A and B are shown apart, each in its own frame.
Chain A
């Protein structure tokens, strides 16, 4: 039983670490701030969740609650930072234009009208 738990949490921890590694590769290689947010918001979140799960298996059940809270607040806050950074990046024209095949927002916010703090 203990061996099975150890194997399960070892697999979870390794998988989590791999996703965190992929996230940092994404942060290094994607061409603009929004692309990097994709890596940070997706791969990094899943990596962290897997690591928390792996850690929870190794500890007494009562420690699972704080770990679950960490997971919950990560899930709730990461999309918010992602959106704030993405919005600011767009409004400061920090997106790699050549990577975009379509830009529906340009009709609403032409480049010359973009301001970081502007609200509509």
Chain B
């Protein structure tokens, strides 16, 4: 019981901080009320624990964040250009993206990084087989489906390199897939 409380501590602190930030005046009432609300929210909702699903590597994570910010700018420009230049005649493809990510949190994050990559939008998540189906606008940077697929795979590998869990000898291969 104590250990499960400890694991929920980060969620508790985040909810508490969020409450205080939303009120933006840290009066005693707000601080105390925030703690009560955070405890109440955690008590009535059963969030799955996420802390053990990832291993954070700060430098790689930072590099990934910088790259994602750049990607967002490039993809906004690309989609804006496609809207002006091609409009109704834009070409697109749906590509299959096999994931290295094997936990719920990583699959979610993989969807997020894929969505900010230039011209791509996740249409379907096949959780059991670990495959994303991505709708790609074929513009500028990623002209052909195969090239777009290669770039998306490289981005996903970087995500796993930044946050992928270290192989844990104590867990059996069957229990590593935590299915939704």
Contacts and interface: CB of A to CB of B under 8 A. Distances in A.
Contacts of A106: 94
Interface residues of A, number: 44
B83 A26 contact: yes
A25 B24 CA distance: 37
Interface string B90-115: 11111110000000000000011001
Interface string A12-27: 0000000100110110
B137 interface: yes
Given A26-B82, A30-B90, A79-B111, A105 B133 contact: yes
Contact of A66 (B24, B87, B88, B123): B24
B131 to A, nearest CB: 9
A35 B137 contact: yes
B115 to A, nearest CB: 4
Given A34-B123, A34-B135, A39-B79, A79 B112 contact: yes
Contact of B83 (A25, A37, A46, A65): A25
B47 to A, nearest CB: 15
Contact of A83 (B87, B94, B122, B126): B122
A101 B135 contact: no
Contacts of B125: 83
Contact of B79 (A26, A62, A66, A90): A26
Interface stretch (B4-12, B70-78, B167-175): B70-78
B121 A30 contact: no
B83 A29 contact: yes
A45 B76 contact: yes
Given A49-B72, A90-B124, A99-B91, 7 more contacts: A22-B76, A23-B83, A39-B83, A42-B76, A42-B116, A43-B80, A87-B124
Interface of B: 18, 21-22, 24, 72-73, 75-76, 78-80, 82-84, 87-96, 111-112, 115-116, 119, 121-126, 133, 135, 137-138, 145
28 contacts: A22-B76, A29-B87, A34-B135, A35-B90, A35-B92, A38-B135, A39-B79, A39-B83, A43-B83, A45-B76, A62-B24, A69-B21, A78-B115, A79-B111, A82-B121, A82-B122, A83-B111, A83-B121, A86-B123, A86-B135, A90-B124, A99-B89, A99-B91, A102-B94, A103-B94, A105-B94, A108-B124, A120-B126
